[in-house]
């Protein structure tokens, strides 16, 4: 595996790690939830062949999902 392939794999692992470790357990909401009080996370799921993992611009149509933090009391 060359340096570029290692960097691509590391970029994918960072994105997947953030989702699996933090966002996955949050409830998914629609884009209409933006602007409401509280914190909303926007997560972009890029295709495996997307150039964003090479440090370039996105050339795919990512699946964008929104997740809301639970209200804390």
pLDDT, tens digit (0-9, with 9 covering 90-100), for 44-65: 889 888 888 888 899 999 999 9
pTM: 0.69
pLDDT, tens digit (0-9, with 9 covering 90-100), for 3-33: 888 888 888 888 777 888 888 888 899 888 8
Q: Are 49 and 60 in contact (CB under 8 A)?
A: yes
Distance CA 32, CA 4 (A): 38
Q: Which of 57, 67, 69 is nearest to 19 (CA)?
A: 67
Distance CA 56, CA 37 (A): 34
């Amino acid at each position: 595996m060359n340096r570029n392939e290692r960097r691509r794999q590391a970029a994918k692992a960072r994105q997947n790690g953030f989702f699996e470790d933090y966002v996955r357990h949050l409830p998914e909401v629609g884009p209409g939830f933006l602007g409401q009080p509280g914190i909303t996370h926007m997560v972009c799921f890029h295709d495996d062949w997307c150039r964003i993992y090479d440090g370039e611009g996105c050339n795919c149509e990512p699946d964008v999902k929104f997740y809301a933090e639970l209200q804390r009391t």
